Amino acid sequence: MRLEAKRVSKTFRSRRGGHAVSAVKEASFVAQPGQFVAIVGESGSGKSTLARLLLYLIEPTSGSVELDGAPVNRRDRAAAISYRRNVQAVLQDPAGSLNPRKRIDQTIGEVIRLHDIARRAADVRRKTEEVLDIVGMSPAERFLDRYPHELSGGQRQRVLIARAIALNPKIIVADEAISALDASVKAGVLKVMVDLKERLGVGYVFITHDLPVVRKVADYVYVMKAGEIVEHGEKDKIFDSPAHPYTRMLLDSAPVLPSHRPPAHEEGIR
Ligand SMILES: Nc1ncnc2c1ncn2[C@@H]1O[C@H](COP(=O)(O)OP(=O)(O)OP(=O)(O)O)[C@@H](O)[C@H]1O
Ligand SMILES: [Mg+2]
């Protein structure tokens, strides 16, 4: 399977006909099962917009998004469901991605039933508990009857990852999916994601500001600046010999541990 964006662009127009924002400009991108592809770039560079285009949550202004060479057809309901199963999303805003009126077991159970992963109530429950365990929400039964507002932000994010994993997708588009998690939980969830890649061949489109994480887990990296992909390549190539000055700037400005930061009085010297 191959998920591909071909010279895809997205322009947002303001309602009153004012200025338009070119959020993504002629971006070409490929994701495949078994590959951990990272998208990096400063805030506002268009990463989330590209993710939404890849997920077909928004329509491109021009260009196309294709699965195995076929443009995604949103009007074909069966095709849309199959697309959604193969390409799952874990988006940036956990509050907006979970239905506040549904318990966790309902939220996860309904996608399991919709996509026919399991049917009998006991099987649905077993699968739900299994994926909650995977993302470190154990014992799962403690969380099943909670509502989103009864969870922490990190727990909501983990529920989203669990729900995505439940469908055995081929590709997961994860937009800052682990950024808000505590360091220890983050490492655990990241390990789960890498395990799924290695064991089941799940592919990732992984959007993050966390360059150390990219360095650790990515296979391939795309660098975005002002809506454009300015550079892409194998992870080692990007980190060891970045070609674009913007990539070098990003790598140089990567956050360092507080203890490694120069004392305030030295900062002006550099
Ligand atoms: N629905 C929208 N309507 C209008 N403009 C939008 C919309 N969504 C995004 N934009 C604009 O498009 C540009 C790219 O936004 P996007 O959210 O894709 O950036 P990003 O790289 O994900 O940033 P961040 O790292 O802060 O999440 C920004 O200028 C943003 O203001
Ligand atoms: Mg974003």
Tens of pLDDT, residue by residue over 88-144, are 998 866 667 899 999 999 999 999 999 999 999 999 999 999 999 988 899 999 999
More confident residue, 264 or 191: 191
Number of domains in the chain: 1
Amino acid at 25: K
Is 127 part of a structural domain of the chain?
A: no
Mean pLDDT of the chain: 89
More confident residue, 51 or 17: 51
Atom of ligand 1 nearest to the CA of 22: 12
Atom of ligand 1 nearest to the CA of 58: 1
Smallest CA separation from ligand 1 atom 30, residue: 44
CA distance 258 to 72: 45
Is 240 part of a structural domain of the chain?
A: yes
Tally Cβ neighbours within 10 Å of residue 144.
Answer: 18
Smallest CA separation from ligand 1 atom 16, residue: 46
Smallest CA separation from ligand 1 atom 18, residue: 46
pLDDT at position 145, please?
97
At 199, which CATH number? 3.40.50.300
Ligand 1 binding residues, C-beta < 6 A: 12, 21, 23, 41, 43-49
Candidates 76, 33, 21, 28; CA nearest to 53 is: 28
Is 120 part of a structural domain of the chain?
A: no
Do the beta carbons of residue 9 and residue 63 sit within 8 Å? Answer: yes
* Residues in the 5 Å CB sphere of ion ligand 2: 48
pLDDT at position 265, please?
46
Is 53 part of a structural domain of the chain?
A: yes
Q: What is the mean pLDDT of residues 22-28?
A: 98
Task: Encode pLDDT of 228-262 as tens digits.
Answer: 999 999 999 999 999 999 999 999 887 655 544 44
Do the beta carbons of residue 189 and residue 158 sit within 8 Å? Answer: yes
* R_g over Cα of the chain: 19
Query: pLDDT at residue 269 above 60?
Result: no
Among 47-51, 183-187, 214-218, the range scoring the smallest mean pLDDT is 183-187
DSSP secondary-structure letter at 241?
Answer: S
Alpha helices in the chain (DSSP H): 47-54, 77-86, 94-97, 104-114, 121-134, 153-166, 183-200, 211-217, 235-240, 245-252, 264-267
Is 140 part of a structural domain of the chain?
A: no
Is 131 part of a structural domain of the chain?
A: no
Residue 23 alpha carbon to ligand 1 centre in Å: 6
- Give 65's contacts (C-beta < 8 A, 6+ positions apart): 3, 4, 5, 6, 8, 53, 54, 56, 71, 72
More confident residue, 95 or 1: 1
CA atoms within 13 A on the CB side of 64: 9
* DSSP one-letter string for 27-96: EEEEE-TT-EEEEE--TTSSHHHHHHHHTTSS--SEEEEEETTEE--TT-HHHHHHHHHHEEEE-S-HHH
Ligand with an atom nearest the CA of residue 24: 1
Q: Is the peptide bond before 169 cis (omega within 30 degrees of 0)?
A: no
Tally Cβ neighbours within 10 Å of residue 244.
Answer: 15
Highest mean pLDDT among 60-74, 114-128, 143-157: 114-128
Do the beta carbons of residue 237 and residue 223 sit within 8 Å? Answer: no
Task: Encode pLDDT of 158-213 as tens digits.
Answer: 899 899 999 989 999 999 988 877 888 788 888 888 988 998 899 999 999 899 99
Task: Encode pLDDT of 73-85 as tens digits.
Answer: 777 888 888 888 8
Domain that holds residue 58: 3-96+170-256
Atom of ligand 1 nearest to the CA of 42: 25
Is 148 part of a structural domain of the chain?
A: no
Residue 44 alpha carbon to ligand 1 centre in Å: 5
Cα dihedral 252, 255, 258, 263 sign: positive
Is 41 part of a structural domain of the chain?
A: yes
